[in-house]
Structure 1
Amino acid sequence: MSHLKKQADEKKEVPETPEFSLTKAVEDISQHGFAQAETLKEQEDTLSSLQATLSDVVKKREAVEGELRSKEREFLLCQGQMEHLEKQSKVLHDRCVSITMSKSELQGLIREEEENARKVKAKLDTYRSKMKAHREAVLFADSQTEAHKQLEEKKMQIQMLKQMKEQLKKDLEDPNGATQQMAKNEIDALKMKIFERKLSIAERREQLKAEYSKQAPRCHRQAPLLPGEQSPGPPQADAGGRL
């Protein structure tokens, strides 16, 4: 634009001639066409740049729109998850309330059972104390009864021993007593055993004599008696007529 203004000023200063005017007009037209071509080229470059920028913007917009749609899907998914979590939270809250109520009831029952247990323990301790005292009393009574019983048994044993002593004393003083008769019977039995033993020895001696006589028929002699030995005879009766 400044170039065209400068040319117009030059036209005013230089006087125009027909040839000069035509040449000048051609130059002006040529310059004006060149300027328009340059301007058009600049505009085309600008348009190309704007188109490239627009294409880039469109691509970016499409990418942003795709990302936005993805974000919207994620948002919807998160919203669904949030609703699900809210429902679960409500369910858990209701459970917590129920558990809290149950816990309170259980704590009340536990306190009641602990109180009952303390009462039962107190009663049991009282019962144990009474049973201990009763057991000690029974043991003491049993010990006294056992001692008295043992004392009575000792007295009876002493009485029996005294009676046996008196009876034995009487038997020993009486010739015909049971003790004397028992002693005499034992003596008689011993005498009978001695007599039977002597008979057995005599029979054995006779057997030996007979065997000796068979072996030495010419030597008939009686076997000598041992020193202090006598020929066996029937047992003698004592003064009472016993053997």
Structure 2
Amino acid sequence: MPREPEPTRWVFADLRDPQADGLLDDLVAMGADLEPGTLLAAYRHGLFPMPGESPHDPMLWFSPVERGVLPLDGLKVSRSLRRSARDFEIRIDTAFEDVVAGCADPRRPQGWIDPRITAAYVALHRLGWAHSVEAWRDGRLAGGLYGVAIGGLFAGESMFHRERDASKVALLGLVEVLREGDPDVVGRRLLDVQWQTPHLASLGVVEVPRAGYLDRLERALSLPLPAAFDG
């Protein structure tokens, strides 16, 4: 069961007000901190953090005008991916820090996960809020993803692979976790992937306007955690 941290001292803007300063763009705030209470409050308000270009820059907080969401019945799984999935073992939370390190590999193009982000999500994981879904083969971590689970929300942060299809298999594993349980509950869960990219669109990710996302988020937060994340 996740442990609730100390509440944040920061106040987040009402993202439902389209006329408020700075809320017409994806970037909606700057500053604050990455304490567990701040991160959880941000996700509950529909925001997520990313660092600036320099370690000395203030933290940036985003709530995309068009949010990337993967419908749990919309994941596009090719026959070749189904075949690949048979070669991997899916595990949950057995190597969280290794998954974050894989996602943060500085050799990856457009890397954004810096030591501040790593430390923040490891702290959140230790409190039971951040989770990894891992694809293993022959006893080796081949790929995976990590994100934050609050009620029926899973906010995906990043994924990586060391072997072909490993990250996609981890995503398939995550969707299967989120599809377990009462169909009424499953239908209200929310898999947030931040932005739709061409790669994610090919897997079934769609764009949802911010107001629609916030409505879905409110419903998702009232749900119980999936069993796999409620250990």
TM-score relative to the length of structure 2: 0.13
Higher strand share: 2
> Whose relative contact order is higher, 1 or 2, with alpha carbons under 8 Å and at least 6 apart?
2
TM-score relative to the length of structure 1: 0.13
